[in-house]
Amino acid sequence: MSKKRTAEITGESLLDQVNSPEDLKKIPSQDMPRLAGEIRAFLVRHVTETGGHLASNLGVVELTLAIHTVFSFPEDHLIFDVGHQSYVHKILTGRKDRFDTLRQNGGLSGFTRRAESPYDCFGAGHSSTSLSAALGFAEADYLQGKKSFTVAVVGDGAFTGGMIHEALNNLKPGRRLVIILNENEMSISKNIGRFAAHMARIRTRSSYYKAKNFTGKVLRHIPLIGKPIFRGMLAMKKSFKNALYGSNYFEDMGLYYLGPVDGHNYTTLVAALQEARNYSGITVVHVKTRKGAGYPEAENDPNRYHSVRPAAAPKRKGPTFSCILGRELTSLAREDDRICAITAAMCEGTGLNPFREAFPSRYFDVGIAEEHAVTFAAGLSASGFKPVFAVYSTFLQRSYDQLIHDCSLQNLPLTLCIDRAGLNPGDGPTHHGIFDVSMLLQLPRTRIYAPVTGETLAEALRLAISENGPEWHSICSIRYPNAEPDDIIRRHFFPDGKVSLGWHKDWADGDKPDAVVVTYGTIVRQAIEAGRILKERGKNLGILLMERLPEDAADADELKDAIPDTDTRIILLEEGVYNGGLGERLRPAFREYHTSVLAVKDPFVTAEKDRDIWTCAGISADDIVRECEEN
């Protein structure tokens, strides 16, 4: 009796037997639905515990099984767009036993990561990069005469990003590239009728391609009339197909198109992928999947289960900075009909739902296109409107040229609400928000706010929109973390409950701290903890917190005036990169003091087991204490 048959009789888990793609290939096709069910149960059990992207991974179970059945990785190359839907791929490639470490310190990444496995040929974390990278792999194989295939799994949402279309524009015939278009939300093609579904089934059979190829060869070799007849047949076929279900974007580009295919039917998926593998050129396999498939809660509410919080994460007691931003912006927009809100496919994440509901005509979701968002905002600004672009810090990096060329150079006002500022221990280095300050400090007429309370965030937003004009600043930025305002910070700097936006020191006039930390943002929490430790050791640490970053020499002099005398030790603390950061900029102004800078040592730092991200980055409370106690 076979091992697989024994497993079926005894009820032994099929998933326990799969530790590599080679193990998967030994599973009979009729057992794949059962294996898919076990994988879904595995995902739900682990991801709801560790946190992570659940709905998208539940939607690609059969698709990932089929990909690993048909292709041979890592000899072939598999690239996921964004990489957040690669969990099943990780399970099948020897990382199943480490899944309790997903998104944990020192554990598995929530995205593909080259250093993690040879099966992760290309790391990702931002959208719309997959096809450009895949084309690079395919071209490299072509140049070296290799027969490897490159497979790119691209969600339909990624097609709102310009890079996908730039890559499509550069495809060349003869490259062994398979593009899997995973349509799980946006409708790219028309609804499929029974006839269209029947045609899709025919097109995925190898006999279809062989007959088509054979007919073409025969007709093209008929002297004089063969080629015109063949071209006429192709034109007639295309007209007939377009009349039934519209012109196909990919076929119009000369790509071989298969589908749409049911993304939850393993047998059909394997047939389509085998046909793509047999084709000599670039193939698009269009699959239709459902986010959250097999888990009713996620199917019914995929947005809620797109990214779930760890089970151990404390429940939020109040609104996050993002929610406060959305609420306050909506309130300001009621008073000024020139205020517009822009997001790059992150409405809920940036808290803009209230604005979208209240002012749909002034709300713009441009898709995954941060570059376009900034230049679009510049156009609105040039026409007299007041654009506010809410964007994650890590994604703002994609629009740096537009900030320089289209906004700053032309002195066009823009308000940036920079969400997810600071280190991101869960998502890791692809989502660290630590470059925005160094980027923006290089631009003239730029103001940066770093509020630490909900009230000061609201005040910063009001000032940014009102002050942000050609005679004031071109770009006003407000940066804040993915968190609730911290009560400890609030009580430390506003003990009397009177909250105001500005620069705050935590020592009384006439006192002389042994050292002073000069900082901004919620990393100040580490300085508060360092002050507690030093107090127990008989030392007094002062903190100077800036909710508006200094812009010129006059601002630096104002900071220096707050510090008692030049023998005070100064520590410039920053949850950002050193090069080009505020600490590096301010250090010359404090040359007469004993001054040091604590900034993120490695911009691509990851949290290690038993060490939090701030310790690994060298900006923790313990690092501050050590800096203060050095002679």
What pLDDT shows up at residue 232? 63
Q: Which pair of tokens denotes residue 1?
A: 């009796």
Q: Which of 275, 328, 370, 455 is catalytic?
A: 370
Indicate if 398 belongs to the active site.
yes
Range with lowest mean pLDDT among 138-152, 340-354, 422-436, 555-569 = 555-569
Give me the chain's average pLDDT, please: 87
Q: Taking the model in full, what pTM does it have? A: 0.85
Check if CATH label 3.40.50.970 holds for domain 3-189+248-300.
Answer: yes
What pLDDT shows up at residue 293? 85
**Residue with more model confidence, 4 or 89:** 89
What pLDDT shows up at residue 309? 82
Q: Which pair of tokens denotes residue 444?
A: 């003239």
3-state secondary structure of 252: helix
Q: Which pair of tokens denotes residue 606?
A: 């990851």
Question: Domain spanning 321-479: which CATH class is it, in words?
Answer: alpha beta
Q: Give the domain ranges of the chain.
A: 3-189+248-300, 321-479, 502-629
pLDDT tens for each residue of 173-199:
989 999 999 988 643 333 334 434 543
Same topology, domains 3-189+248-300 and 502-629? Answer is yes
Residue type (1 letter), 539: K
Q: Which of 176, 288, 291, 569 is catalytic?
A: 291
* Residue 202: band (very low, low, confident or very high) from pLDDT cuts 50, 70, 90: very low
What pLDDT shows up at residue 64? 95
Fold for the domain defined by 502-629: Rossmann fold (3.40.50)
What pLDDT shows up at residue 259? 84
* Residue 385: band (very low, low, confident or very high) from pLDDT cuts 50, 70, 90: very high
Proportion of the chain above pLDDT 70, given as a percent: 88
Helices (H) and strands (E) in the chain, counts: 27, 16
* Residue 206: band (very low, low, confident or very high) from pLDDT cuts 50, 70, 90: very low
Indicate if 98 belongs to the active site.
no
What pLDDT shows up at residue 251? 80
Angle value at C-alpha 417, between 413 and 423, nearest 5 degrees: 135
> Is residue 216 packed enough to be buried (19+ CB in 10 Å), middle (13-18) or exposed (0-12)?
middle
Indicate if 75 belongs to the active site.
no
DSSP per residue, 1-43: --HHHHHHHHT--SGGG-SSHHHHHTS-GGGHHHHHHHHHHHH
Q: Which of 175, 398, 420, 479 is catalytic?
A: 398
Q: Does the structure show a pLDDT above 90 at 144? A: yes
What pLDDT shows up at residue 192? 36
What pLDDT shows up at residue 20? 93
Give yes or no for a contact between 370 and 98, defined as CB atoms under 8 angstroms apart. no
